[in-house]
């Protein structure tokens, strides 16, 4: 990186950091171009050079804070132990997959074989004569996979609310600015940061839907069910609403979200 480019990056960082700190201290009313340039020591001309406008700066700050929040959720999913879900994009889940140690809904490494033996690869729980064959094994495989979904949902909730607690200023800016007037003109910038991360979160859940464990819904509705409760809890907590306990939400919300997503159990 050339010295000139490095200086430009440092100036952008100074403006973004000053803007976030100012918003957290002064709120929306104090979040002005004059205040940000004064706090950062950067000229108005330099702000326009790097962001095009003050709205451009606000949109860039929103995109950065949102990507940090979603990265925390993706990281929480990726950190699940083998057998308790999968990292986004790994193609595992209810049907198993390379790179996981989880048993498959229709069989898995280390399970009972359809002939009643131990450890057959690709073993199916519908096998007839083994100790866990037939409907009992099918139910057991389903219950295990459902536990993986529940673990993933717990990771989403704890990742989202953990970021909110640890990075309050960034979470506050995201939730306070979700419908701000500056966003529509910069929708492409926000989508560039949001869509691949959200696709990773929804992609983690998709194999479970394909396996019949989770209801199949449009992605926007699935997003509302999976992320929406944690987002609304965070919004109210950040706004100082009474009775909002993030620890309690992490304990209680995952099971309720899972129930809202759970496909009907076959007879």
Angle at 240 between CA 236 and CA 241, to 5 degrees: 55
Q: Is the confidence at residue 13, as pLDDT, over 60? A: yes
Q: What is the pLDDT of residues 17-71, one digit of tens each?
A: 999 999 999 999 999 999 999 999 999 999 999 999 999 999 999 999 999 999 9
Residue partners of 215: CB distance under 8 A and separation at least 6: 209, 261, 262, 263
The pLDDT of residue 220: 94
In whole angstroms, give the CA distance from residue 2 to residue 112: 61
Of 98-102, 141-145, 252-256, give the range with the top mean pLDDT. 252-256
CA distances from 102 to 144, 166, 168, 170 (A): 9, 31, 35, 35
CA Rg value for the chain: 23
Angle at 52 between CA 49 and CA 54, to 5 degrees: 110
In whole angstroms, give the CA distance from residue 159 to residue 70: 9
In whole angstroms, give the CA distance from residue 85 to residue 70: 18
Burial of 2 (0-12, 13-18, 19+ CB in 10 A): exposed
- To the nearest 10 degrees (0 to 180), the angle between helices 228-238 and 219-226 is 50
Q: Which two tokens stand for residue 197?
A: 């991360």
Q: What is the pLDDT of residues 202-227, one digit of tens each?
A: 999 999 999 999 999 999 999 999 99
Share of the chain above pLDDT 90, in %: 71
The pLDDT of residue 83: 59
- The model's confidence at residue 85, banded by pLDDT at 50, 70 and 90, is low
In whole angstroms, give the CA distance from residue 219 to residue 198: 10
> Residue 111 gets which letter from DSSP?
S
In whole angstroms, give the CA distance from residue 190 to residue 67: 9
CB atoms within 10 A of CB 82: 11
At 112, phi and psi to the nearest 5? -80, 140
Sign of the torsion formed by the C-alpha atoms of 61, 67, 72 and 75:
negative
CA distances from 205 to 156, 165, 216, 254, 255 (A): 11, 25, 10, 14, 15
DSSP string, 59-113: HHHHHHHHHHHHHHHHHHHHTSPTTS---TTS--STT--TT--PPBTTB-TTSB-
The whole-model pTM stands at: 0.78
């Amino acid at each position: 990186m050339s010295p000139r480019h490095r200086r430009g990056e440092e100036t952008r960082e100074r403006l973004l950091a000053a803007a976030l700190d100012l918003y957290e201290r002064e709120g929306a009313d104090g979040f002005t171009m004059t205040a940000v340039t004064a706090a950062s020591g950067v000229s108005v001309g330099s702000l326009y050079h790097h962001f095009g406008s003050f709205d451009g700066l606000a949109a860039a700050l929103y995109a950065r804070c949102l990507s940090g929040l979603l990265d925390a959720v993706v990281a929480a999913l990726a950190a699940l132990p083998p057998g308790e879900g999968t990292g986004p994009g790994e193609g595992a889940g209810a049907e198993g997959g390379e790179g996981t140690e989880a048993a498959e809904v229709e069989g898995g490494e280390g399970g009972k074989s359809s002939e009643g033996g131990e450890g057959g690869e690709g073993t199916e729980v519908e096998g007839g004569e083994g100790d866990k064959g037939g409907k009992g094994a099918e139910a057991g495989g389903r219950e295990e996979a459902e536990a993986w979904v529940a673990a993933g949902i717990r990771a989403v909730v704890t990742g989202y609310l953990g970021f909110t607690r640890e990075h309050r200023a960034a979470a506050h800016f995201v939730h306070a600015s979700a419908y701000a007037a500056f966003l529509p003109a910069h929708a492409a910038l926000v989508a560039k940061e949001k869509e691949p991360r959200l696709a990773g979160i929804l992609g983690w859940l998709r194999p479970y839907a394909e396996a019949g464990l989770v209801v199949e819904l449009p992605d926007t509705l699935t997003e509302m069910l999976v992320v929406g409760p944690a987002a609304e809890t965070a919004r109210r907590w950040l706004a100082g609403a009474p009775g909002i306990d993030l620890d309690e939400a992490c304990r209680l919300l995952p099971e309720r979200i899972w129930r809202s997503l759970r496909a009907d159990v076959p007879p």
